[in-house]
Amino acid sequence: MKVISTEKAPAAIGPYSQAIVINGMVFTSGQIPLNPATGEIMGTTVEEQAEQVMKNLGEVLKAAGSSYEKAVKTTCFLADMGDFGAFNEVYGKYFTGKPARSCVAVKTLPKNVLCEVEVIAEI
């Protein structure tokens, strides 16, 4: 097992890792739309926040030796299911291989952001 950590994505805000690699797979923690340099929430719309989430995920995947194209499963969390279509527009630009996915609305996300995404991918 290998712990993944990169300064190009936000540091964990709790007792967890950005990702873990084991048996040729990477399991990312959920990424929210934080600027890795400042810790500030990026964007006020779900589209803007989703773009930052995808950038953060891309950096974690890269640090683990993987990529969006190698994703096999994603789990997406939305603060409002009414944002589903707008979120999908951004998501679809990155996960072109169409991995398996769950997408749910939740009552509250960390720092009251609008979306969070985690990924399981091959190395």
Residue position matching structure tokens 């993987």 = 66
Catalytic: 103?
yes
Among 70, 56, 54, 76, CA closest to 5: 56
Cβ within 8 Å of residue 90, ≥6 positions away = 46, 47, 50, 51, 54
User: For the domain 2-122, what is the CATH superfamily, name and number?
Assistant: RutC-like (3.30.1330.40)
- Measured distance CA(101)–CA(12) in Å, rounded: 23
What pLDDT tens digit does each residue of the chain (123 aa) get?
999 999 999 998 789 999 999 999 999 999 999 999 999 999 999 999 999 999 999 999 999 999 999 999 999 999 999 999 999 999 999 999 999 999 999 999 999 999 999 999 999
- Which of 86, 103, 109, 123 is an active site residue? 103
Residue position matching structure tokens 């979120």 = 87
Domain ranges of the chain: 2-122
Cβ within 8 Å of residue 13, ≥6 positions away = 110
